[in-house]
Copies of this chain bind each other. A is one copy, B any other.
């Protein structure tokens, strides 16, 4: 495509490039921060209750009342995690994701594990949220059911574009829907509780419950339901990963946003679960729990449709949390040399383009494989999040211990510590205990999850995370090797020219290109020879004649290639030259026809390019491809194919 057109298209889709100096303006306040980072956590209320009921249904509808105490325990866990993470936000104002905290306190292995777990879960967040979002749409418009996968992929494509434009603009674009959901869902819970208290809330009707083979209610089943419900807590850590996106004072803004988010999440999750039990909501293939609650409270009117729209949109927005965090975490791994370096590349719009694209493609693939079936994705989900919670919290425990030890030493040595540092060190033991409780709770949930969901899908995660960590270390090994190779051990005095250099021109035919190569060689001023590989003796004669007629200097060496191979005879020739001078280099000059346009180049074989690539691989051979440009005069180029 024409470079100019490419530029114009890039502007339309991604906006104009951002100057280095503008970079720090790309931060967000608390209000937008909530919209960007909290939608993941908040949106999970759309499916968490339903997933609990879906497991309890195995023991029959009578077990549904257990959903309330289960939700209670989960909200308690939420409180613990919010308090723990609040401490992390203040301790790591430059971004305190599990990766950084683990790396700082537990070492590289723990950091890579935490990172791998989170990366997997970010991909799953997109897949689960988008699937669940389209579940809501399908609840309202059942005729869209056959197109659910397509719908998902279109949504992911849209989000990819938004995020390639940059986080601030997408944050603003997503603020309205997030608040719309918070208001409509809180209002719904409020109205529901009010109607319930007046005795006017009737059980929902016309729901066909999923079919299951009844089993007895065991502790295992209750724990499984609890695990499913814990998906409500995914996304709680999002803010701690994204502190740098906040306006100054970063930590304070991030922390307030996190606490506010925890309160809303707890209220909605408990409220929805409470209402679900009281309207006798039932998990169903064709209608979500949110839809059942909406119908019970509002009937089929405007308010019901607003609730469904809000829920759908928040789920779509939730996926956006991953778009904010996944590329940033990839860049962290890549910066440390555990993922391909390309992931640290910031585009003209200051976003990590490759991370955004990789996330979109992986999530799209998952949705395609699992046919946008939310319940099938759930067992793979959340285990990674809880693994990273655990590592992060234990990292904090170690950190407080170090600080405590430092304080003790300071006291023991009777050194005076500055006012600020003293304040910072105060109460380290209390903080340590808070993080310890957070860590133990998360670790417990992770183990319960892995155990109760193993056969239904968690095994995938259990295999994939170590595999990813292994891959990360392989990549790291490669970069270490390259770094060692590139580092210069030499001193200034050793920058000398090569003791010998032979110049060889590769000649295919005698034409404009040949002329340019010869002119270049003559300009360099070193002696040279020309080389021609011939498949056909008659043609060789013609080439010889033309050479003598038109160039007529130096020597033209002919290499006969009966198997019509090009590289092999050249390689053989170069090898013999290299052997004749063990420390010299060979400068090979080839030609390259440069054809402008999009279709023109397709009419010319890539042989020259292939030969160039192969010759470059030979030690002590340096290749120059002298370009000859097909004229670009406007008139002619319009005629070009």
Q: What residues of chain A have their CB less than 8 Å away from a CB belonging to chain B?
A: 17-21, 340-342, 345-346, 348, 474-475, 477-479, 481-482, 485-488, 490-492, 495-498, 501, 509-515, 518-520, 522-526, 535-536, 549-553, 562-565, 585, 592-596, 600, 602-605, 616-617, 619, 621-627, 629-631, 636, 639-641
Q: Which of B498, B515, B630 contacts A519 (CB 8 A)?
A: B498
Q: Are B585 and A485 in contact, with the CB atoms below 8 A? A: no
Q: Are B481 and A585 in contact, with the CB atoms below 8 A? A: no
Q: Are B475 and A603 in contact, with the CB atoms below 8 A? A: yes
Q: How far is the CA of A536 from the CA of B346 in the complex (A)?
A: 13
Q: Are B523 and A497 in contact, with the CB atoms below 8 A? A: yes
23 contacts between A and B (CB under 8 A): A17-B563, A19-B562, A345-B605, A348-B564, A474-B641, A479-B603, A481-B639, A481-B640, A482-B593, A485-B512, A486-B513, A488-B510, A488-B514, A495-B519, A495-B552, A496-B522, A497-B519, A497-B525, A501-B524, A520-B622, A592-B616, A596-B617, A623-B627
Q: Are B479 and A564 in contact, with the CB atoms below 8 A? A: no
Q: Which residues of B contact A630 (CB under 8 A)?
A: 481-482, 485
Q: Which residues of B contact A623 (CB under 8 A)?
A: 624-625, 627
Q: Which of B485, B515, B522, B563 contacts A490 (CB 8 A)?
A: B515
Residue of B nearest to A602 (CB): B340
Known contacts A519-B497, A523-B498: does B624 contact A550 (CB below 8 Å)? no
The count of identical subunits is 2
Residue of B nearest to A640 (CB): B478
Q: How far is the CA of A611 from the CA of B501 in the complex (A)?
A: 26
Q: Are B617 and A629 in contact, with the CB atoms below 8 A? A: yes
Q: Are A487 and B515 in contact, with the CB atoms below 8 A? A: no
Q: How far is the CA of A553 from the CA of B596 in the complex (A)?
A: 38
Q: Which of B492, B621, B631 contacts A485 (CB 8 A)?
A: B631
Q: Are B627 and A617 in contact, with the CB atoms below 8 A? A: yes
Q: Which residues of B contact A550 (CB under 8 A)?
A: 488, 490-492, 495
Q: Are A20 and B523 in contact, with the CB atoms below 8 A? A: no
Q: Which residues of B contact A594 (CB under 8 A)?
A: 616-617
Q: How far is the CA of A631 from the CA of B481 in the complex (A)?
A: 10
Residue among A515, A622, A623 having the largest count of chain B Cβ atoms under 10 Å: A622
Q: Are A624 and B622 in contact, with the CB atoms below 8 A? A: yes
Q: Which residues of B contact A585 (CB under 8 A)?
A: 520, 523
Q: Which residues of B contact A562 (CB under 8 A)?
A: 19-21
Q: Which residues of B contact A518 (CB under 8 A)?
A: 495
Q: Which residues of B contact A595 (CB under 8 A)?
A: 482
Q: How far is the CA of A462 from the CA of B501 in the complex (A)?
A: 62
Q: How far is the CA of A506 from the CA of B470 in the complex (A)?
A: 36
Q: How far is the CA of A486 from the CA of B549 in the complex (A)?
A: 16
Q: Are A511 and B525 in contact, with the CB atoms below 8 A? A: no
State the Cβ distance, A406 to closest chain B Cβ, in Å: 31
Q: How far is the CA of A20 from the CA of B563 in the complex (A)?
A: 6
Q: How far is the CA of A237 from the CA of B350 in the complex (A)?
A: 63
State the Cβ distance, A496 to closest chain B Cβ, in Å: 7
Q: Which of B348, B564, B627 contacts A616 (CB 8 A)?
A: B627
Q: How far is the CA of A488 from the CA of B507 in the complex (A)?
A: 14
Q: Which residues of B contact A515 (CB under 8 A)?
A: 488, 490, 495
Q: How far is the CA of A486 from the CA of B522 in the complex (A)?
A: 20
15 extra interchain contacts, Cβ-Cβ under 8 A, other than A18-B563, A346-B564? A20-B536, A340-B603, A348-B564, A475-B641, A478-B603, A482-B595, A486-B511, A486-B512, A488-B511, A488-B550, A490-B515, A495-B550, A497-B525, A498-B519, A594-B616
Q: How far is the CA of A284 from the CA of B147 in the complex (A)?
A: 35
Known contacts A592-B616, A629-B619: does B487 contact A511 (CB below 8 Å)? yes
Q: How far is the CA of A420 from the CA of B524 in the complex (A)?
A: 62
Residue of B nearest to A522 (CB): B497
